[in-house]
Amino acid sequence: STFSALKFRSIGPAFTSGRIADIAVNPKNFSEYYVSVAAGGVWKTTNNGTTWSPVFDNYGSWSVGPVAVDPNNPNVVWVGSGEYNSQRAIGYGDGVYKSTNGGGSFKNMGLGKSEHIGRIRIDPRNSDVVYVSCQGPLWGPGGDRGLFKTTDGGTTWTEVLHVSENTGISDMEMDPRNPDVIYVSAYQRRRHVWTLVDGGPEAAVYKTTDAGKTWNKINSGLPGGDMGRIGLAISPVNPDVLFAVIEAPEGTGGIWRTTNCGESWEKMSDHQSGVGQYYNRIYCDLWDVDRIVAMETVAQVSDDAGRTWRALGEDLKHVDNHCFWMDPRDPKHYIIGSDGGVYESFDQAKTWLYKSNLPVTQFYRVAVDNDLPFYNVYGGTQDNNSFGGPSRVTRNIGAVNDDWWVTCGGDGFFQQVDPTNPDIVYSESQFGGLVRYDRKSGEAVGIQPQEGLGDAYRWNWNTPLLISKFDHKTLYFAANKLFKSTNYGNKWTVISPDLTRQMDRNKLPVMGVIQNIDAVAKNNSTSVWGNIVSLAESSLKPGTLFAGTDDGLIQITTDDGKTWTKIESVPGVPEMTYVSCILADKFDPNTLYVSFSNLKRADFKPYVVKSTDLGKTWTSISANLPENGPVHSLQQDPVKKELLFLGNEFGFYFSLDSGGKWIQIKAGIPTIAIYDIAIQERENDLVLASFGRGFFILDDYTPIRNFEPSILNRDAHIFPIKEGIMFSQTDGKYGQGHAYFSAPNPAYGVTFTYFVKDDLKTLKQIRKEAQTKARKDGTNPPYPTYADLRAEEEEQAPFLFFTIKDSNGKLIRTIKTGQKTGMNRINWDYNQEVMGNIGMQGKANPMGTPQAGAMALPGMYTVELSRNVGGVVTKLAGPETFSTRLINNLSLPAKDRASVIAFIEKATKLNNAVSATMAKMGEYSTAVQYGKQLLFSFSGPDEIMKELKGLETQLKELEIRFNGNSIISRLQDQAEPGLRQRMGSVRYISSNQDVPETSMEQYDIVSSEMVKILPEVDQIGLAIERLKKEFDRLGYPWTPGRAVPKW
């Protein structure tokens, strides 16, 4: 697309990871395995987690449940999209996928309306036979809900077990002795914004003995009435034995066991996970029939068939466990997936190795500060704290895990940073747990508003917070009421009544009926309904505030909360739809933008509206947004009012015309939900909070702001250039290994964004295109002649080059790149051309550029874009002016950087002379050796041999003066440094600091020595030339450096 050159940059982090849904290990190579990330795709390792590769980035879903490797062919991998948990914040899938090349690519094999998949089982006798348990939609009825089977590798599917439109199949086990025997659990559940009901009367355990043709309920001994999520595990030691963990109301759930293949069940204990919709997965030990492991907040293990339980071991690891693998070769070797990522133990969970290189953090919110020289990014995460870290660093490998700092524990949400003091950070955990964090000291103090007597606030899981645009000490914070503080959160005032509908959620139907109070897990893991979830302040008119609620209201005040205008419905938006984002226009105090998400009523349409009269009338600006993609976030450019940004369930978009048309940017971003967008206005950077792949930054998005359609009609164009920040890059820590995570910095230097219209093709490209067209047309293309092929071979491919000059017009640098059309980016790394020696391999290369040897001075520059076609240069665009500045991070900055650069240029010339002299000496040494060989081969006058040996000795002595005495060094004694070593000291300097006097002294030594050496070398050259003539006179055969002999 037009904007494909604009690429987002992932900054991780990975010091905390994200929720892992499943682990699938290659049965033929245990170092190779896949992990499905509940909100971050599928990742593969071939070296036991030393490195990871995302293999599911560009498909129809970012939410993933099970992953399975074919036991007969490990190149075949199945993925079930749509997380199997029924949590408050999850995505949905679009079916089951299959890879036949070890995750290299995937194909959607169907079941596109399943949305949430529990398990995938492959028949070990026939890999074309696969079973998929589909839980079905979480937020509505119907869909692909049940157990599905394919017998042709996924080409077609048959639903072999269907319960109802509200009940799907969650867990599944296959008898290893006879894969036609399958056990499944039926799962009836529904979630909405206001509630969760995690069970019902249709929950059950089913069994087939004929590969799904017929089924029987096997509930004998299981709880009667409603049940919730049921997890199953079959013992590989004795497959007659199965265990079930069952969620049930009023404490009736627990652990059940059957020892007769499900004919009857016995309750072993009341033990259960406590949060069935989030856990309820159990695993049987591979050696001990009575040992089972349960995935829970704190993973549990039983050694007596479920009667008693103890903690498996959580020391120094993240809790909240979801999946588990036990090594069939070693009973002490585990891999476990939790909300915090992947952990491995080699001592049966006593200690854990954390895979700290998997950047799959689920961010709810993002904020940026104004710190210098680089701003920081803050975010709140699903179950992995709130924290901040650098947008970039001076270290050349980028930010590492230790560069981040935690501001608040728990689940994290809105973060705000004082715009005048980056050390004052407001950080939030679930249900309004607000703290003020001092970055200098690392201390935090709780500042959440507290109820007075007789009051009870309703806080959302994700509570909105903002700092006033008019006073950095003023905060607004929302529950069901709006709070204001004018002293950094030390004291709060309620400035609104209850701004919600104040409805009783328990009177709303769920699955078609009003659910009883004792329904399974009723309202668990759900915010108390009726609270403010979106909040915005006009940056133009003090006291104008906008609030959006989880029950679909928009409330507006223009007098700082004294009076409120309630908007109960918006045309085209279903009533009571969750207000996901409110954006106050940055140019007009009467204009606002609002997005709604009806996802939790199984409606995935985008609802984005605009009002220019404070909500009296509304216009839809959903335009061409995908029908499948609820919208989560909105932003507006602070300079160009028509430029809007949007994050939805599957990506990032922008509009150049206030929402008339939306354009997606995919470069650098996988398929992922974008929950929040921040703009760092000083740097003109866009920062995204993704729910499952960490933070993304688009460095300098101004080419979007400055884009005009007319640019596409120009031959070329250079967009306005952002000021360059100059500093010396530092190295990362040495020898950290391949698992050491780092997130890349933006490209170092000044970025030139440019557009070129014409696509110039080489002769070879033209011929090949003509051949392709002729085949398509059914004609014969002209066959190339030898002359044609030679012309192709000798043709110089067209290329572009950028000429950078300082304010005095002096050439500083030339950057060359291949011919590219459309919008592209290229960087100047601040190095200026110094006339150093050139290096060449093979024939001369027109794309070659001079050696760079010094950082240019900060100041004003221009850049021009030209094109070279067959040696003919045409100017295309520019000059475009830009500036650079040096960041103040030096303890001893150079007093006069111009004199430092002058010294570098002078030292470079001296180094050129040293290199050239040594090259000459090498040529002379070769000539001496050829001369000696002539005399050895054909005999000759002794005086010539004597002269040659004398020259050889002179050259060896000179070589010692340049390189030092190798014999002394070899004997571990200290030899006087040669001129080359001294030049190393001369050149080991920085453009940003004064030249050390030592370097100047070494320069003087080398320079004075070179004055003495050069005449000596010249004399050796004259002697060799005289000897070459003598060889000609004596009629010796030709040697290099002599004239071609006559015949």
Each domain of the chain, given as residue ranges in start order, spans 1-15+361-448+666-702, 742-760+798-886, 897-1033
As given in the structure block, the two tokens for residue 755 are 């557009």
Taking a C-beta distance cutoff of 8 angstroms, is the pair 65, 39 a contact? no
Say what the pLDDT of residue 284 is: 98
- Pick the closest to residue 572 from 550, 534, 598, 549 (CA basis): 598
Give dist(CA 61, CA 111) in Å, integer: 13
Burial label, 879 (beta-carbon count in 10 A; 0-12, 13-18, 19+):
middle
Taking a C-beta distance cutoff of 8 angstroms, is the pair 1017, 921 a contact? yes
Give dist(CA 374, CA 382) in Å, integer: 26
Go through 930-962 and write b for each residue having 16 or more CB atoms within 10 A of its CB, e for each that does not.
Answer: bbbebbeeeebeeebbebbeebbebbeebbbbb
As given in the structure block, the two tokens for residue 789 are 């092929």
Give dist(CA 44, CA 27) in Å, integer: 14
Distances (CA, A) of 577 to 192, 581, 585, 593: 11, 12, 22, 15
pTM: 0.94
For the chain, give the number of residues.
1047
Distances (CA, A) of 775 to 771, 772, 781, 782, 785: 6, 5, 8, 12, 19
Say what the pLDDT of residue 839 is: 64
Taking a C-beta distance cutoff of 8 angstroms, is the pair 354, 341 a contact? yes
Q: Which CATH fold would you assign to the domain 742-760+798-886?
A: Immunoglobulin-like (2.60.40)
Taking a C-beta distance cutoff of 8 angstroms, is the pair 422, 376 a contact? yes
Write the pLDDT tens digit of every residue in 473-512. 999 999 999 999 999 999 999 999 999 999 999 999 999 9
- Pick the closest to residue 723 from 752, 680, 756, 754 (CA basis): 752
Give dist(CA 446, CA 596) in Å, integer: 31
Say what the pLDDT of residue 716 is: 94
Residue spans of the chain under pLDDT 50:
none
Count of other CB atoms within 10 angstroms of residue 891? 5
Write the pLDDT tens digit of every residue in 784-822. 888 888 887 877 888 899 999 999 999 999 999 988 889
Say what the pLDDT of residue 733 is: 93
Write the pLDDT tens digit of every residue in 816-839. 998 888 999 999 999 887 766 666
Look at phi and psi of residue 779 and say left if phi exceeds 0, alpha if psi is from -120 to 50, else beta.
beta
* DSSP sequence for 941-987: -HHHHHHHHHHHHHHHHHHHHHH--HHHHHTTPPPPP-HHHHHHHHH
Taking a C-beta distance cutoff of 8 angstroms, is the pair 652, 645 a contact? yes
Q: Which residues contact 941 (CB under 8 A, 6 or more apart)?
A: none
Say what the pLDDT of residue 793 is: 82
Distances (CA, A) of 89 to 83, 138, 514, 1023: 10, 12, 24, 85
To which H or E segment does residue 97 belong? strand 96-99
Q: Which residues contact 484 (CB under 8 A, 6 or more apart)?
A: 474, 475, 476, 477, 492, 493, 495, 560, 561
Say what the pLDDT of residue 1017 is: 94
Say what the pLDDT of residue 893 is: 85
**DSSP helix/strand/coil, 110:** coil
Q: Which residues contact 967 (CB under 8 A, 6 or more apart)?
A: none
**Nearest 5°: phi and psi at 209?**
-115, 5
Give dist(CA 312, CA 297) in Å, integer: 11
Distances (CA, A) of 667 to 2, 5, 645, 653, 697: 12, 8, 16, 12, 11
Taking a C-beta distance cutoff of 8 angstroms, is the pair 312, 299 a contact? yes
Say what the pLDDT of residue 305 is: 98
Write the pLDDT tens digit of every residue in 134-163. 999 999 999 999 999 999 999 999 999 999
Say what the pLDDT of residue 395 is: 95
Say what the pLDDT of residue 844 is: 67
- End-to-end alpha-carbon separation of the chain, Å? 67
Give dist(CA 549, CA 63) in Å, integer: 26
Longest dimension (CA), the chain: 119
Give dist(CA 1022, CA 870) in Å, integer: 42
